[in-house]
Amino acid sequence: MINTLDSIKNKYTVKEYANARKAHFIQDIIVRLSTKDYIQYVEKGLICPITKQDIIRAEDILGPNLGSLKGKTTRKTPVKVVLNTLDDLPDRLLKEHGNVTLVVDIMYINKIPFVVTLSRAISFGTIEMIKDERKSTIIKLLEQVINAYHGRGFKIRHVLLDRQFE
């Protein structure tokens, strides 16, 4: 259920709503005190035209005063992110999927050619933009991809291509 300003406003009289708006406005003017401190000042009689109930209504109708929240929360140090490197492959992965079948194709995005590779069993993919579609460019790129697999202990057993690579 979504509470709109009108539905919340209808819970109060016109005078109560006006006083709540005034309380919210005054809170903006006076150094944007927290609601708790604002109520304490009002109860001590330091701020005259506002009552504690006006402040509570203002928070109910208009929500917490954002100015009083900004700058008063501190940033906590985030938890350190630990990255798993590709050097630490589980032995089970190499035993089960050490022989890789690589699927290769050229994809065009806005008429820019990309060589896309995907290994079947482990679903590891690479995408590389190429300047041209010459045989030497594609072979050099495929050698880089194959060397990346070999560097991790995988062996490329099959490379599947379509007729475009003839």
pLDDT tens digit string along 51-95?
999 999 988 888 887 777 766 667 788 888 776 665 566 777 777
Residue 53 confidence (pLDDT) = 92
What distance in Å separates the CA atoms of residue 123 and residue 28, rounded to the nearest whole number?
56
DSSP state for residue 132 in the 8-state scheme:
-
Top-confidence residue, 128 or 31: 128
Residue 110, pLDDT score: 92
Report yes or no on whether pTM surpasses 0.75: no
Report whether 154 contacts 98 (CB < 8 A): yes
List the beta strands (DSSP E) in 39-154: 99-109, 112-119, 125-129
* CATH superfamily label, 91-165: Ribonuclease H-like superfamily/Ribonuclease H (3.30.420.10)
User: Which amino acid is residue 90, in one-letter code?
Assistant: P
Q: In 3-state terms, the chain is what percent helix, strand and coil (to 5)?
A: 45, 20, 40
Q: What is the mean pLDDT of residues 1-19?
A: 79
Residue 8 to residues 2, 12, 107, 137, Cα–Cα distance (Å): 10, 8, 55, 67
pLDDT of residue 166: 72
Residue intervals in the chain for CATH 3.30.420.10: 91-165
H or E stretch covering 159: strand 155-160
pLDDT at 153: 83
